[in-house]
Amino acid sequence: MKPNLTTLNTLTDFLTERVVFVENKEEELFEGKSYEIIDVESNELIAACTLGEDDQLLNFYYVNEPEPGNVTLEEMPTIAEKFIEAFYPNSLETYRLQAVIDLDEICIVEYALHEEVYGLYLPGTGFSITISTDGRVLQFTFSVDQIDIRYPSHVISADEAKRKYAELIDLELVIQKIDTDIYVNGDDSYRLVYKVKEAAMEVPASGEQPDTVSESNVYERVQMDVVPEASLHELIGITDNHLKIGEHMKDGIRTEKWQHDSLEMAENVDLSEAYSERMITIQVDSKTEKIVAVSNVEGWKARQNPLADDLLKQRALDFLCKLFPQAQTHFMMEVEEQFEDWQDEIGEEEEEEACGYVLHDDEIDEVEEEDSKAFFFQYHVGNIPVEECVTVIQVGLYSGHIISASIEPINEELFVLINTKPTLSKQQALEQLLQKLQMELAMAREFDEEGKSHYLVTYLPSYPETVGHIHMIDAEHGKTYFVDVGNTIFY
């Protein structure tokens, strides 16, 4: 079937390159007719688009990175509306401007349908246009579906919704870096703060009991009765039969590559990569000589059943205590949620192969990591977790080697100076947060088991003074920290 030349010709008006459209029949991500957009001069793919049943433009996106420019946030809706009107004439009488989201080098302009009873916008409907600061439309999507709004027989007041929300919110003490890249009033210091531990995402306008979401973790103390004799290299799986292929230094991190001498030496190895097939890669802080990352993608050839969970845990503890001799003082292990035994997930076919990771001559180029189990260790100061200071260690189910590790640097000299005694009580911090909180009526989109969507009237928490949601309350002086949303405008 020939493409709708009117739609595609219109699209070329917004492209600076001379292009041809090639139908892509293998595209499965979007429903409709998909086209690759090829630059005539370079013969390279620069963009792609999809047309619907009536040949209307459903989505479009540029492949290349955006170029910086001087278009202001206030000018973005004009560019977006010109694009929309070119493909959907008069649609802006129905779809109204909802938000201009500032993402520095780009912005997203959104238009949505509004229902008639409360004038609330319907999420997931309408146009979303991503525009670079040089004025180019980088991405466009149009979403429309059958609208099913389920209004409650009675709508509670905003005050009642706030009371319900307040009954369910809970805070916890943590030590958090107040990152200037994230928080408007951040200063990059580490502070003792109260952070939301559990809260309702929304309060149904019908007055039904809301569901809550918990972001808190449960920990158990790290206990080591015997200091492990094995070295870090031995725990990772490096033996006397391994050869050090080479190393690469960048930004104070030394990347080392190791390979077993029984394997054919790989050609053109990129020593800077943190991951290489059929090799062990270790990254080391050249200043402290401490390991910061491990990637073990070797072939585990022995056929056997997975190791017991307790043994896997012990291997992870051995590695942690070799990295941090004082691990028992400051680290706690995150207790995993109770699901079905992970070993039960191994099917009969896998049990027959039960080798996690086998190298066959005809599969030498299709290597995958050995199946592994992850353990998370959180650094604490005075029994208070330091957010983002987490060491993740993955242990091979069959080899017992450290398959992967990510180790956050620990600045013990800094952390020892952090105050761990709050001046504010949890109740005082909660009262301060609630003083700034308002509940706003909104439409929530939900999906049934068949994937069909419907809308419910709900109340969402909002902090009008700060635009961004308050994430933390300082436990010493009560300062509130909120996320930087740039110059984003909501309508």
For 106-175, the three-class secondary structure string (H helix, E strand, C coil) is EEEEEEECECCCCCCECCCCEEEEEEECCCCEEEEEEECCCCCEECCCCCCCHHHHHHHHHHHCEEEEEE
Quick one: pLDDT at residue 355?
A: 36
Angle at 184 between CA 181 and CA 187, to 5 degrees: 65
Q: Determine the 3-state secondary structure of 246 from DSSP.
A: strand
Instruction: Count Cα atoms within 13 angstroms, Cβ side, for 15.
Output: 24
> In tens digits, what is the pLDDT along the chain, a chain of 491 residues?
344 568 999 999 999 889 999 988 776 666 778 999 999 999 999 999 999 888 899 999 998 888 889 999 999 999 999 999 999 999 999 999 999 998 888 999 999 999 999 999 999 899 999 999 999 999 999 987 789 999 999 999 999 999 999 999 999 999 999 998 888 888 898 999 999 888 889 999 999 999 988 877 888 888 877 778 899 999 999 999 999 999 999 999 999 999 988 887 777 888 888 888 889 999 999 999 999 999 998 866 555 788 999 999 999 999 999 999 888 889 999 987 654 444 444 444 443 333 333 434 444 344 456 889 999 999 999 889 998 899 999 999 999 999 999 999 888 778 888 889 999 999 999 999 899 899 999 999 999 888 889 999 999 998 877 666 777 899 998 988 887 776 777 76
Specify the pTM: 0.77
How many Å apart are CA 402 and CA 404, to the nearest integer? 6
**Which amino acid appears at position 35 of this protein?**
Y
Asked if 121 and 98 touch (Cβ cutoff 8 Å), the reply is yes
